[in-house]
Structure 1
Amino acid sequence: MLQLFFAMAFSAMPLTLYVPPIRSLNLFVETTEDFFRQTSLYTVGAYPRIRVAFSRIFRNLFNLFR
């Protein structure tokens, strides 16, 4: 049983290297929230224009192949 415990402990050890500490994770989350907050103004205004552009492109493609 002790051997199984050590095998599990040493196999999980490299996984801890990929998980950042909580203090670094908070800065990352704060930066991504700020990025999304700043870009949301542009995406809300650009979304209708992008939708119209794609609908025109697809309409022309469908008419071309019909």
Structure 2
Amino acid sequence: MLQLFFAVAFSAVPLTLYVPPIRSLNLFVETVEDLFRQTAVYTLRAYPRIRLAFSRIYNSILRLNR
């Protein structure tokens, strides 16, 4: 059982090199949240226009098939 524990422990050690420390992730998460906050206004304003454009395209495709 001890051999299995050491095998698992030493095989997981290289994986810790690929995971950044939490203090580095905080800046990244903060930047992403700020980006979402800034783009939310534009997304909510553009959503009805995009929906209208897709409905017009969809309706024109259906009319061509009739």
Normalising by structure 2, report the TM-score.
0.91
> Shift in Å at residue 14 of structure 1?
2.3
Normalising by structure 1, report the TM-score.
0.91
Give the paired residue count.
66
Amino acid in structure 1 at the alignment position of 2:17? L
Identity score, percent: 76
**Cross-structure match for 2:42:** 42
* 1:24 matches 2:27: no
Runs of 4+ in 1 over 4 A off after TM superposition: none
Unaligned runs of 5+ in 2: none
Unaligned runs of 5+ in 1: none
**Cross-structure match for 2:2:** 2
Query: Please, which moves more after superposition, 49-58 or 5-14?
Result: 5-14
Amino acid in structure 1 at the alignment position of 2:30? E
